[in-house]
Structure 1
Amino acid sequence: MDETTSPEHLNPLQRFGLDVKRVRLGRKLTQKQLGKATGYSDAYVSMVESGKVMASAKFASGCDLAFGTNGLFAGMLRRIDEGDHPSWFVPYLNLERKASRILAYSTNLVTGIVQTDDYARAVFRTSNPRATAEGIEDKVAARLRRRAVFDLDTLLWVILHEACLRTVVGGAEVMAGQLDYLLTVAASPDVELQVMPFSAGVPATSTLPFTVLRFPESPTVLYTETRVGGRMHDSAQTVDAAVDDYDLLRAHALSPDRSLALITTLLKEYRA
């Protein structure tokens, strides 16, 4: 990471890592010395400073002791965890921005990268009942920033189970806006959209949502998510099985044209 990079263009992990590096250099400590002081290797310090891994609470507290910063880095880490994105999701975001292909399968909610602001707002209000209005808006803005991949040469392939389209989130007006946006997104040459209909029966493979990220020069990665957080998988066997699953889902889903026809029909129902 270039130390001269403008902070507003950095994600939370990169900003945290840059701050660690700046204070470490100000204290005239090497990565090896900081690693020894915090109980980690110099390689780990390097990964944190480059924003490639989420620092542990122990490392952040160790930095405060080594730097004499009185809880500064521990507090920064908590704010990342409580901020616009949960900490476990940040590593995925780092990879999503670099992917040449994003293959997403959703089972009950429209996948985040193609959500409208109203739909995302309704989702966040339900999942974060104690959050302030400002906190909700920050999360919505962060979700919409993920649309930046549309300005890159990234192919996005989305399979939505029909339940995603029929589960009413935020009311009929919000759903109408969401389905209308899906039709707009699907018109892009870099987006393929399919619907897995109820009539297909039990999904051919996974009943849980997952995302496959492919890269020009790096191994393919699988991302799965549960109620307690997300997880990245990079073992060849696990990733290959997920790619096979996605191929089966594409085969059993409606064709793109029939998918758009179904979305159009449901859109008219919501508007009625």
Structure 2
Amino acid sequence: MPQRRVITGRSQEPRQRFAEELRLLRAEKKVSLRQLGERLGWDWSLFGKMEKGQTIGSPEVVEALGLYYDCPLLLALWELAAADKTQFKEQYQRYMTLEAEAVSLWHFAVSVLPGLLQTPGYAREVLAAGGLKGKQLNQQVEARDSRRDLLEGENAPPFRTILSESVLRTRLRNMNEWRGQLQHLLDMSERPDVAIQILPFSAGPYGLDSTDVMFLRLTDGRTVAYTENAHRGELVTESADVERLQRVYDSLRDLALSPVESRKFVLRMLEEVPCEPST
């Protein structure tokens, strides 16, 4: 049996350490990324992103790499990298900076309204459902409410969002707050620089069925994307990756209701919400 190399851990940051180990293991194996992809049955570009620290991959991919490299500790390094939230926070902070500078924005939502369109009542209930409470909850609600300023003023960037019908079928528990949120959507849809479209259930299966995405058109002409699910977010800057996401987004736009029909859809939902006495 070949001697197994001890994991060095030259970097102290878990994700960087994991990426570094992947690069060293492949160098010792003397294989190219394309050869690695051919031998393990995955797109070789995935391994390139993992070695650059852009993604950590799935546990299935890492298990296959560990077997190929004869490095059983690789999965343990992956678990450390997956548990580390530092880089995700840094990516989100970078995204927020880019969002504030963007000249136009396009968005798709799977199950929750985009922060730019959330009322404080909606934000509070959604954040509380995620486990926040007390002072931390109040701070996050205030922070999310302040983001709506991005769509205010003469220099506000054009904003388009495509909402899966499931977003509007998931009501708040507080019916008065839910009515206020739906009315806010209607009010925002009247703005010339805001377009809201609904992707109905009748559209059938579609791409991005488990991922929210925001596209930012930047002042230098580039477009970047930020993808997010229930557990993590990722800033996507590689042009080929952004283009693939845009193609899926364009297909969703073709399936979605028009802004006019979407407004009628929201209005019908608003009419269905029962009124509750104010407390």
> Hey, what's the Cα distance between the residues in 2 that align with 1:169 and 1:202?
26
Residues 66-110 of structure 1 deviation map (CA, whole Å, 9 limit, x = unaligned): xxxxxxxxxxxxxxx89xx95552221111111111111001111
* 1:186 Cα deviation after fit: 0.8
Map of 1:196 onto structure 2: 199
Residues 112-162 of structure 1 deviation map (CA, whole Å, 9 limit, x = unaligned): 110000000001111124x31x32121111001111211233010011011
> 2:215 is paired with a residue of what secondary structure?
strand
> 1:271 is paired with a residue of what secondary structure?
coil
For residue 98 of structure 2, what is the amino acid of its counterpart?
A: L
> 2:101 is paired with a residue of what secondary structure?
coil
| Mapping of residues 44-83 of structure 1, within 5 Å | none
Residues 148-182 of structure 1 deviation map (CA, whole Å, 9 limit, x = unaligned): 21123301001101110010223322221111000
Pick aligned residue for 2:129 from 126, 129, 132: 126
Residues 176-229 of structure 1 deviation map (CA, whole Å, 9 limit, x = unaligned): 1111000001111110010001111112x2212111111121421011113332
Map of 2:208 onto structure 1: 206
> Hey, what's the Cα distance between the residues in 1 that align with 2:89 and 2:274?
34
1:221 pairs with 2:224: yes
Pick aligned residue for 1:266 from 251, 269, 274: 269
Map of 2:190 onto structure 1: 187
* 1:248 Cα deviation after fit: 1.0
Map of 2:160 onto structure 1: 157
1:242 pairs with 2:245: yes
Give me the CA root mean square deviation. Answer: 2.3
Structure 1 portions without partners, runs of 5+: 1-38, 40-80
Residues 21-52 of structure 1 deviation map (CA, whole Å, 9 limit, x = unaligned): xxxxxxxxxxxxxxxxxx9xxxxxxxxxxxxx
* Sequence identity percentage: 30
TM-score of the aligned structures, taking structure 2 as reference length = 0.63
* 1:250 Cα deviation after fit: 0.9
For residue 138 of structure 2, what is the amino acid of its counterpart?
A: E
- Work out the number of aligned pairs and report it: 190
For residue 173 of structure 1, what is the amino acid of its counterpart?
A: N
Structure 1 outlier segments of 4+, above 4 Å: 85-88
> Hey, what's the Cα distance between the residues in 1 that align with 2:204 and 2:273?
24
Which of structures 1 and 2 has the bigger CA Rg?
2
For residue 216 of structure 2, what is the amino acid of its counterpart?
A: L
1:146 pairs with 2:143: no
For residue 139 of structure 1, what is the amino acid of its counterpart?
A: Q
For residue 208 of structure 2, what is the amino acid of its counterpart?
A: S
> Hey, what's the Cα distance between the residues in 1 that align with 2:116 and 2:148?
6
> Hey, what's the Cα distance between the residues in 1 that align with 2:190 and 2:89?
31
> Hey, what's the Cα distance between the residues in 2 that align with 1:101 and 1:170?
33
Residues 168/97 of structure 1: CA separation in 2 closer, same or farther (3 Å cut): same
> 2:166 is paired with a residue of what secondary structure?
helix
> 1:153 is paired with a residue of what secondary structure?
coil
> Hey, what's the Cα distance between the residues in 2 that align with 1:227 and 1:262?
26
1:116 pairs with 2:122: no
> 1:154 is paired with a residue of what secondary structure?
coil
> Hey, what's the Cα distance between the residues in 2 that align with 1:157 and 1:170?
27
C-alpha contact 2:127 2:137 (8 A) present in aligned 1: yes
Deviates more, 1:187-196 or 1:150-159: 150-159
